[in-house]
Amino acid sequence: MFVKICGITNAQDALLSVALGADALGFVFASSPRQVTVDQVRSIHSQIPSSVMTFGVFLGERPEKIVEITHTLGLSGAQIHGNYLPEQIDHISERVMYTVRAIVAGRERLERVKSFSAWAILVDSPSPGSGQVFDWSLVEAVPERTKMIVAGGLTPENVKEAVSVLRPFGVDVSSGVELEPGKKDPMKLRKFIAQARSSDDIDSDDLDVRSRKDAVSDDEDVVPYNWEIGR
């Protein structure tokens, strides 16, 4: 089970997450209580083992800027939220191997996943960043063999059930393991990661997080978003 801890704002939380077994860390560059600067991430990133994946989280940022920040900091990938044309997503995916396209849960939207040129998709609630759980039955619309990362209201108490029911490639959490916005709770982190992997029976092929999903060049319809990360 691929476990991503998002909303990292300091080196202590980053290193603790890694020590407890997190596969990836996320740094929010959009407006949020967890927003970080390029200089902050540069300092944190320099202390993280190279085996751990790191993602910049962007909302509505220009594709060129997303690529620039990702490359400048040496991040593994970019997690993209907001309205983008198909060619803009293609522009990012061609330059950032581990591009994660975030979408709001909704059957019609999830059925269009095949047209996304991204390494993985992240499915969040209709109010992303709110910590609310979405209707898990919606993920039935996701095509098979899609690298799906589930977010939205996950906590140490419900992540085991989410993994068992949804069988995702990975899980993503931010507020569910916090003491306060931008500060992680060590006990919640430990329990979340342990619970996420307690029913882990994903195929070994799915665990190869270094193999990129084949890009698809079909057009992607633009879906309106109205969201501020972390609020």
Catalytic position from the list 39, 124, 135, 214: 124
Q: Which tens digits make up the pLDDT trace of 59-81? A: 999 999 999 999 999 999 999 98
Rounded Cα distance between 154 and 5, Å, is: 11
Q: Is 27 within a domain?
A: yes
C-alpha distance across the termini of the chain, in Å: 27
pLDDT at 204: 39
Q: Is 225 within a domain?
A: no
CATH code: domain of residue 129: 3.20.20.70
pLDDT at 226: 35
Looking at the DSSP bridge assignments, the partners of residue 102 are: 122
Rounded Cα distance between 141 and 24, Å, is: 26
Contacts of 121 (CB under 8 A, 6+ apart): 100, 101, 102, 103, 113, 142, 146, 147, 148, 149
pLDDT at 84: 84
DSSP string, 14-80: HHHHHHTT-SEEEEE-SSSTTB--HHHHHHHHTTS-TTSEEEEEEES--HHHHHHHHHHHT-SEEEE
Q: What residues make up the domain containing 195?
A: 2-200
Rounded Cα distance between 109 and 93, Å, is: 19
Helix-strand-coil split of the chain, %, nearest 5: 35, 20, 45
The answer to whether the CB of 23 falls within 8 A of the CB of 170 is: yes
CA 223, 57, 87, 76 torsion: positive or negative?
Answer: negative
pLDDT at 104: 77
Q: Is 113 within a domain?
A: yes
Q: Is 210 within a domain?
A: no
Task: Tell me, yes or no, if 124 is annotated catalytic.
Answer: yes
Number of domains in the chain: 1
Rounded Cα distance between 76 and 53, Å, is: 5
Catalytic position from the list 6, 23, 90, 172: 6
pTM, rounded to two decimals: 0.81
Contacts of 46 (CB under 8 A, 6+ apart): none
Q: Is 228 within a domain?
A: no
Q: How far is CA 5 from the centre of its chain?
A: 8
Q: Is 45 within a domain?
A: yes
Q: Which of 72, 114, 113 is nearest to 96 (CA)?
A: 72
Q: How far is CA 230 from the centre of its chain?
A: 13
pLDDT at 117: 79
The answer to whether the CB of 125 falls within 8 A of the CB of 153 is: yes
- Ranges of the chain with pLDDT below 70: 106-116, 126-132, 134-145, 199-231
Q: Is 207 within a domain?
A: no
Q: Is 92 within a domain?
A: yes
